[in-house]
Structure 1
Amino acid sequence: MGRTTHASFDCAVGCSVEATLSLIGGKWKGVILYRLLEAQVLRFNELRRILPNITQRMLTNQLRELERDGLVARKIYAEVPPKVEYRLTDYGLTLAPVIEALKNWGDTHLQQTVQQAA
């Protein structure tokens, strides 16, 4: 069962939230964006090491979607073996406050969860 994507976001209040989540939503995109924000430039295999639970296929798909949406830039170096680097675009960098807010909220949530379990 696939995710429904909208051609336009012309609905009521809250559509801007839906539009944003359509770009960064899902299990891996936010984490990929956070890691690129943190490190600035990462190679494909570095991302694989940082995110050991993501499959190669899923990482490739997520990076392609982020690149297609203009949030991530891919640079390919003509050498053997091929070297590919990923970084946030200027447009992707505009998400920094959003990603940082998500991280801060998540830190607080995890801390609260640990305290409730104790």
Structure 2
Amino acid sequence: MATRTAATRREEARHAYDAFLKECPTSQLLARISDKWVGLIVAALAEAEDNSMRYSDLGRKIPGVSQKMLTQTLRSLERDGLVTRTVTPTVPVRVDYRLTGLGSSLACLLSSVKQWAEHHFDEVDAHRTAYDGAGA
């Protein structure tokens, strides 16, 4: 077994998480958090009082998301430690979702992206129209 120098070990550690590499776990995490439903759900929870919302309120807040996609996305966010799920045994059953500390740290970034999109959409749309009109 060949010994590695400290410099080699440092270089390996530096490249251990390289999101530009397809097989890197950080690349997979970036793919997950860049999903449109993830961004909208995290932003909705961040804007909610106490960073918490009921499942049905999330569905109403995010038009276009199907129950299946909402459920799948919330499960993946819970699995990743970004959201907690609390079931209250009432009739009907109440299910609340809340951002964790980790989720709140992501929410700051995703909320900024959402605000950027809302603020700059007209400008982007004008560029799209010009580009499409030029026959590109």
Aligned partner of 2:61: which letter? Answer: I
Cα offset, 1:82, TM superposition = 0.5
Between the aligned residues of both structures, percent identity stands at 38
Normalization by structure 1: what TM-score? 0.77
Aligned partner of 2:46: which letter? Answer: L
Aligned-partner SS, 2:30: helix
CA distance in 2, matches of 1:92, 1:55: 22
The one of the two structures with greater contact order (alpha-carbon pairs below 8 A, sep at least 6) is 1
- 1:45 — aligned with what? 56
Aligned-partner SS, 1:86: strand
**Candidates 14, 20, 36, aligned match of 2:45:** 36
Cα offset, 1:20, TM superposition = 4.2
- 1:106 and 2:117 matched: yes
Gaps of at least 5 residues in structure 1 are 1-8
Normalization by structure 2: what TM-score? 0.68
Q: 1:103 to 1:85 in 2, by over 3 A?
A: same
Aligned-partner SS, 1:53: coil
Cα offset, 1:17, TM superposition = 6.5
- 1:96 and 2:89 matched: no
Cα offset, 1:23, TM superposition = 3.2
| Structure with the higher helix share, 1 or 2 | 2
- 1:25 and 2:24 matched: no
CA distance in 1, matches of 2:121, 2:114: 10
List structure 1 segments (4+ residues) > 2 angstroms apart after TM superposition. 9-20, 113-117
Q: 1:92 to 1:52 in 2, by over 3 A?
A: same
Residues 19 and 27, structure 2, Cα contact 8 Å, conserved in 1: no
Residues 23 and 69, structure 1, Cα contact 8 Å, conserved in 2: no
Q: 1:85 to 1:112 in 2, by over 3 A?
A: same
